[in-house]
Structure 1
Amino acid sequence: MASLENSLKTVVKVFRRECHRVLESEMTTIRGADSMLIALQLVMAEANKTETGEFTVALSDVIVTWQRLLREKLHLPLSDSAHPENYDIIRREYDSFLKRTNTLDLIDVSRMYQQLRAESDPDEPLSSVELLQFLSGGVESSTDCLQTPSSHDCPQTPSRNTSQYSLQVQGALRRLFCSYLELLVNTRNDLALAQVLDAPCRGLSCVAFTNLKRQARASGTSLFLAAVSFVRAIQLGGKGYAPPDSHPLRGHLKGLSDFVRFTDHLQELMGETPDPSVAGEKLVSVIRAALVKGLSSEHPVLAGAEGVACDLKRRMCQILDAQRGAACDSGISPARPKVHAINHATAYGGRATVKVLKALLDEEALSPPCRNKAELLYRDQAPIDAIGETCILTLFRSPEAPTGCSPQALRQRVQKRAKPKVSGHVIRSQFACTYGEEERPLSRVLRFPTRGGLEGEGAAPFAAAECEKGSSASSLVGQRVPLGSRGTNIRPGAAGDVGEACKRRRVEEEGEVERQPQKKRTLGTGVPRRPGKSGDRAAPAKQKLISGQSKLTSFFRV
């Protein structure tokens, strides 16, 4: 195993030394075995969403496609297993994903080694079969023997569970530290940004990541550049250049501003410190302080972050000493900044620190793959609740923007069908008690007594007819009703018997009644009688006008 690790380090070292000859960008980073598997899972889920509409993929399908991808890229004979569905599309999208994120996998690095090696370098330090065993997890590493056995090997005890939890915490924290450092080297790595966007918690949930991903796709940029462009437009843009209030990222302005401010601070530390070892210590310390902020002294994350930070600081110092020793042995003096360069110390210090960070990230890419593929690919939440590391597949499973032709949800469709239909007229007038149920609302007739007929012997008839628009039916004529009795509607069938003569006669009668003086009602003997006496129950009682009744009656007559 030691020889295999040394061979991998030799391949990567030669690649870093000569990569400027074949690569367009010097900031290209390397993906290890676990990162390659996560990228393949995302590509397969995207292909399944295009075919079936579901952004998901089974673990068995990922493992089968993974084995075929490794053998095909290493030019090894394929197994007799079935051909994975949509493999050609998946392979093409996988290569496109690597190019879009400015990354290379270990197989591409091994292939480029054959083109870039010098005569003094070994001919073939690593065979294709050995690389296949390493990437597929068939080779045990020296660190696996020091880890706690799994639950299948021995019964779990409280102390063993605590040790396993601490190992998980340290692994998750190490991924977060390296993701922050990788963003300083390669800002186009979307997987690194997805891991640290909400770590520590900034209020940027899956909804914020979804909106950021859509904005990046619309502008054709990376996730990091989309976030920085939005925040810069808010901070520096005027009234005509700032994004509108309806922009989908407006609701996540505070969290995105905190994230961009934190990354700006890391870049300033990296550029303003000439010594790479001091700059690396500052970077790791700032990241550690942000991850453990607000945690108690007894929290396991605090101890895990302290151990990971010390290990990274020590490793960066060792890498820097090795680089300085290699420069001295070669007999070539290191590059020095030009005197006429503006802020030459900052530029030189930043380049030296980036060189150390790339060497550190290359070593992390050579780490042995995780044996528990299900925990690596499908963990819903990281073991650290205080940091908030989320499964990558869960973050990228965000739905697309809704369109007008998309069907409604099943619950909405069921509720719409289960809603009972309302029959009849629910909202009725305050005078609905005077109308019959069998009459239509457009043929209603309102009957109100006239002012002159309230105290007369017989009240003058009054009827207000409501006819439909465009109807040729004649107006309805009300019947005489005794004072105090409730009026009833005339049926619509009687409207055909009424002519213009009836209408004129009704108007003349109403005018005569209005001009007649009001008289008191008398009995047959000529003696006036009060309507309130109980002796005469047959005679209709006199109705007194209340305040405002005459005005209300005249209003309805109009």
Structure 2
Amino acid sequence: MPENPDICNQGNETGSVYFVSNCDAEIVRNSLTTVISHVIKGNKYPVVISSKRHLTALSSIQGYHQYFISLCRKLNLLPNDRVTLISPMDQLIAIQLCLAEKSKEETGDFDVETSIVLQAVKDITNKKLLSQYDITSCSKDSGICELYDKFLKDCNYLDGCDVYNVLKKEMSKNEELQKLIKEQSFLILDPPKSILERKMVEFLAENKDVKSVTVEVPLDCEENISVTVDNSCLATVLDVNVPLSTVKKAPSITEAYVRLVFLSYLELIVNSRSELALARVFNVPERELTHSAFTAVKHESRQKKMTMYQTATSFIMKIRLGGKGYAPDCNNPLGAHVKGIGEFVSLMHRMETVIEEDPDIRSACRRTVNILKREMLKCRDSKIRNSNVESVSQLLHAQIADIIDELDKNIVVTPDKTAANGGSLTSRRARKALRQLLDKLATVDDDMSSLDHLTDIYSSQRTPLRFPSVISQFRSPEEELEVTSPGNKYNLSLSERVLNITNKAQTPVYAKRYKSTYDWADPVHNVDVQKDVDIFSASQVYVIPSKTIVHAGNKFSSGEAAKVLETILDQENLTETDPVLVPTSSKSSENEKTVSTNQENTKQNNKKQHEKQSKKRQLQDGNQSSQPEKRKKQDQSKSCRRKLLPQVKGQQSLAKFFRV
């Protein structure tokens, strides 16, 4: 192995910044200590920084944001001990929720375009980091910067830009921080990806030597690692474009979802004001808490100006304490969800009890994760698989154990104090370990793209599973409009209702193949035949294969015609010369008049015929002998004569003309 000529020889006064270019992840895992021993000799162990998840999982590697917030916690620069670092994923979701709330106030629609969210993230980051930056008109008009800062304050959050600005401001007046940064050496495994990480690297490398490290591993023997250190400048190192790997393992959506649920529960233990964490675990595992239950808790918390977690906890505790003085209001909307909210509060209290009462920090953290594990294994939701629960819990046990090992190395013995005077409680060290775990996992890149966090995603299985987004949880369910509401359809004007009906009546393209077969009659019948719609129009005449002509009529006229037809057919005699006339006019009044006149005419004709037959019989009886006359056989042609259907007025003359 070659000698390293660029070893820092300035003692402990000034450190250096080493950039490792094109270093494989397997080399880092297997021989990180060997690389550090080749790079730095005689100096103290450097701070190793990376932004990749599979590298930061190691206890000796930190993320960019993790190192900065650890300095802020060490120097007590944060507002309180429970404040948590918001991840880049949650930052996108928080900005989306703020813009959706603004859109609901202006337009009534709780939604926002993804492009507007991405532009707002860019504007907020540049405004906090760059002194001379003008945000876009869209972000300026919406007031997203003020809304986002208010959301962070209400949820006890800090983003990476705020942490960087706090440390940068403290650097100018804190000599202890200046000495710490000046003497510390840094080994950066991958170049910065965002403008914030670039600013952090510039902050750490200020007034320091910058060196480029190249690591080579021979194919025949991986133990003989060749490390080369060259002098470089910061601008050259930051401008190097590292080619992205084209082969990337597709992330498991179900495993990522289970990991997110575990971390959300742990985050509520550390920071109970986190609304994003509460939204993810409110009904996981299944507690029969619907969307309306979450909406009721949200509205109740805003009405009382309390956090959502505190609102739900106080409601359940009032019920459990009993008594009229503690009983909640009978009209409280949370009363319909007592069972589910009670199960959620009981689970949180069990974990907090373990954290506060177990004196052993390892046992407390291990038992807390196991409680979550047992609850998740009982879940019947297909999105939570037992294999993913087992793997995530094992990974959390290993990471928490590494963090506790680091805490044991830095224990400072102090005089005992009471809890009222700022003494150490049993739960503080356990919460500190969980807080460091959350800081570590919130500062690395995520496997999924940013769009996957802003919208609902579906698993690529035979039966796709829906993983809802956070904004769908915060969106209030649709409520039925009152009669007096201006948005009710019955309060629309006549022109608006007619326009809506005409728009709905349009036949879609895919339904045109189901149209009527009367294409030869276009454009009259170029419509779809719907249910309970008569295909015969009242203004049209259709010829069908029969001896009669049929006119279409309404329901009233057709019913009257049927009654008249029955009375006529019941009569015994039908003359050939006087056919039955049945009018079929479109108007009911005219139809009744014509029917009555036809009935009178038929009665008179029948009477005349009967009188003639009686006179003939009397004459025959007087002239003939007493022998009885044989009755003539009835004409078979007349008896078997087919009874015609009712004829239309004017058809009588037409029948006489064609009669032989």
Q: If the length of structure 2 is used for normalisation, what is the TM-score? A: 0.52
1:184 match: secondary structure: helix
2:323 match: secondary structure: coil
CA contact (8 A) 2:403 2:437 kept: yes
CA contact (8 A) 2:83 2:157 kept: yes
Q: CA deviation at 1:210?
A: 0.6
**Does 1:307 pair with 2:391?**
yes
Q: 1:100 aligns with which of 154, 176, 179?
A: 154
- Equivalences for residues 174-253 of structure 1 within 5 A: 174-253=259-338
Question: Using a 3 Å threshold, how does the CA distance of structure 1 residues 251 and 337 change in structure 2: closer, same or farther?
Answer: farther
Q: Which residue of the partner structure matches residue 37 of structure 1?
A: 92
**Does 1:10 pair with 2:67?**
yes
1:188 match: secondary structure: coil
Q: 1:270 aligns with which of 347, 355, 378?
A: 355
CA contact (8 A) 1:65 1:87 kept: no
Q: CA deviation at 1:257?
A: 0.3
Structure 1: give runs of 5+ residues left out of the alignment: 150-163, 419-558
> Which letter does structure 2 place at the counterpart of 1:65?
A
Question: Using a 3 Å threshold, how does the CA distance of structure 1 residues 199 and 186 change in structure 2: closer, same or farther?
Answer: same
Q: 2:249 aligns with which of 129, 148, 169?
A: 148
Question: Using a 3 Å threshold, how does the CA distance of structure 1 residues 3 and 367 change in structure 2: closer, same or farther?
Answer: closer
Distance between the aligned counterparts of 1:119 and 1:111, measured in 2?
15
2:143 match: secondary structure: helix
Q: 2:125 aligns with which of 63, 70, 76?
A: 70
Distance between the aligned counterparts of 1:258 and 1:387, measured in 2?
25
> Which letter does structure 2 place at the counterpart of 1:379?
D
Q: Which residue of the partner structure matches residue 442 of structure 2?
A: 365
CA contact (8 A) 2:100 2:111 kept: yes
Q: Which residue of the partner structure matches residue 636 of structure 2?
A: none
Question: Using a 3 Å threshold, how does the CA distance of structure 1 residues 143 and 231 change in structure 2: closer, same or farther?
Answer: farther
Per-residue CA deviations over 1:306-343 (Å, capped at 9, x if unaligned) read 1110111100110111111123xxxx42x4655x779x
> Which letter does structure 1 place at the counterpart of 2:111?
T
> Which letter does structure 2 place at the counterpart of 1:320?
I
2:166 match: secondary structure: helix
**Does 1:54 pair with 2:105?**
no
Distance between the aligned counterparts of 1:382 and 1:142, measured in 2?
29
**Does 1:109 pair with 2:163?**
yes
Question: Using a 3 Å threshold, how does the CA distance of structure 1 residues 100 and 375 change in structure 2: closer, same or farther?
Answer: same
- Equivalences for residues 468-487 of structure 1 within 5 A: none
Q: 1:322 aligns with which of 382, 402, 406?
A: 406
Q: Which residue of the partner structure matches residue 83 of structure 2?
A: 28
CA contact (8 A) 2:192 2:198 kept: no
Q: Which residue of the partner structure matches residue 432 of structure 2?
A: 355
Q: Which residue of the partner structure matches residue 470 of structure 2?
A: 392
CA contact (8 A) 1:196 1:389 kept: no
Give me the identity figure in percent.
Answer: 26
CA contact (8 A) 1:380 1:394 kept: no
Question: Using a 3 Å threshold, how does the CA distance of structure 1 residues 300 and 256 change in structure 2: closer, same or farther?
Answer: closer
Structure 2: give runs of 5+ residues left out of the alignment: 1-19, 21-47, 52-61, 172-176, 200-237, 499-660
Distance between the aligned counterparts of 2:281 and 2:243, measured in 1?
29
Distance between the aligned counterparts of 1:211 and 1:143, measured in 2?
46
Q: Hey, which bits of structure 1, 4+ residues long, moved more than 6 A?
A: 138-146, 381-388, 400-405, 411-415
Question: Using a 3 Å threshold, how does the CA distance of structure 1 residues 336 and 180 change in structure 2: closer, same or farther?
Answer: farther
CA contact (8 A) 1:320 1:356 kept: yes
Q: CA deviation at 1:237?
A: 3.6
More strand by share: 2
Distance between the aligned counterparts of 1:48 and 1:254, measured in 2?
34
Per-residue CA deviations over 1:365-387 (Å, capped at 9, x if unaligned) read 11214552221111167899999
CA contact (8 A) 2:263 2:438 kept: yes
**Number of equivalenced pairs:** 388
CA contact (8 A) 2:297 2:311 kept: yes
CA contact (8 A) 1:48 1:55 kept: yes
Q: If the length of structure 1 is used for normalisation, what is the TM-score? A: 0.61
2:158 match: secondary structure: strand
Distance between the aligned counterparts of 1:295 and 1:399, measured in 2?
25
- Equivalences for residues 147-166 of structure 1 within 5 A: 147-149=248-250, 164=251
Question: Using a 3 Å threshold, how does the CA distance of structure 1 residues 143 and 290 change in structure 2: closer, same or farther?
Answer: farther
> Which letter does structure 2 place at the counterpart of 1:253?
V
Question: Using a 3 Å threshold, how does the CA distance of structure 1 residues 35 and 275 change in structure 2: closer, same or farther?
Answer: same
- Equivalences for residues 435-446 of structure 1 within 5 A: none
Question: Using a 3 Å threshold, how does the CA distance of structure 1 residues 66 and 299 change in structure 2: closer, same or farther?
Answer: closer
Distance between the aligned counterparts of 1:44 and 1:140, measured in 2?
34
CA contact (8 A) 1:277 1:320 kept: yes
Per-residue CA deviations over 1:70-111 (Å, capped at 9, x if unaligned) read 1111116648x9532554521101000000111100110111
Distance between the aligned counterparts of 1:133 and 1:195, measured in 2?
28
Per-residue CA deviations over 1:413-470 (Å, capped at 9, x if unaligned) read 699x89xxxxxxxxxxxxxxxxxxxxxxxxxxxxxxxxxxxxxxxxxxxxxxxxxxxx
Distance between the aligned counterparts of 2:358 and 2:402, measured in 1?
18
Distance between the aligned counterparts of 1:176 and 1:68, measured in 2?
30
> Which letter does structure 1 place at the counterpart of 2:428?
R
2:75 match: secondary structure: helix
Distance between the aligned counterparts of 1:264 and 1:311, measured in 2?
24
CA contact (8 A) 2:455 2:468 kept: no
Q: Which residue of the partner structure matches residue 652 of structure 2?
A: none
Distance between the aligned counterparts of 1:288 and 1:373, measured in 2?
28
CA contact (8 A) 2:68 2:163 kept: yes
Q: Which residue of the partner structure matches residue 287 of structure 1?
A: 372
1:122 match: secondary structure: helix
